[in-house]
Amino acid sequence: MTSTLASFSDLRLLFRNGGPVTLSDPGMTDDEFYAFCLENPELRIERNPNGNILIMPPTGSETGNRNAEIVAEFVFWNRKYQLGKVFDSSTGFNLSNGANRSPDVAWISNERWDALPEAARRKFAPITPDFVVELRSDDQSLPDLREKMEEYLSCGCRLGWLIDPQNRRTYVYAENGDIQTVPFDEPLSGGGVLLGLEVRLGAVLK
């Protein structure tokens, strides 16, 4: 479904037919887009490089639980090593290609985060995370998520995990363009980006 923002007075009506909704580029500035997201906190909202706004309903309970378990792994690791900042799926980032994305998990090194002006941190920070996770839910297609992962890497992300619970595997995207497929029963490593991190999703997502 594609339309313009002015066509809708209540965004909750958008989902009566199910699935995500795309609003054709309404010409919002970054500040206007941020205000739009604040006005609709119950929705998941992103913006692609073409300016189109992508609106998705809240995640299902199972996906929400999976995401919470995954976030916890990074929070506990980060508390131990204190190398950066961890962000949850509610956090938006303004990428260098003009898109605004909200990864399910994101991590940014202390050095890069501290270099941002304080005012920029209060909204959707103009930075691509060093590391991102996209957790596939039942209503998401792998091709769409693969395209999003490639976008992150093209904007400067150093490592990305596309987690596919349906097939119990993770696609690991490296900054050099390599993509590895790791089954849930094998360990995932943070490599040179998340030093000391090792996660076995088979134990986390049972």
Q: Using an 8 Å Cβ cutoff, are 164 and 136 in contact?
A: yes
Closest CA to 37 of 47, 50, 27, 26: 47
By percentage, how much of the chain surpasses pLDDT 70?
Answer: 91
The DSSP 8-state label assigned to residue 15 in this structure reads: G
> Whole-structure pTM over 0.85, yes or no?
yes
Quick check: helix, strand or coil at residue 60?
A: coil
Q: Of 9-13, 96-100, 167-171, which range is least confident?
A: 9-13
For 2-35, write each residue's pLDDT tens digit. 334 434 444 555 555 556 788 888 889 999 999 9
Closest CA to 77 of 131, 116, 145: 131
State both tokens at 142: 């792998």
Q: Using an 8 Å Cβ cutoff, are 169 and 201 in contact?
A: no
Fold type of domain 61-204 = tt1808, chain A (3.90.1570)
pLDDT at 7: 40
The DSSP 8-state label assigned to residue 85 in this structure reads: E
Provide φ and ψ at 19, rounded to 5°. Answer: 80, 170
pLDDT at 5: 43
In the predicted model, what is the mean pLDDT of the chain?
Answer: 90
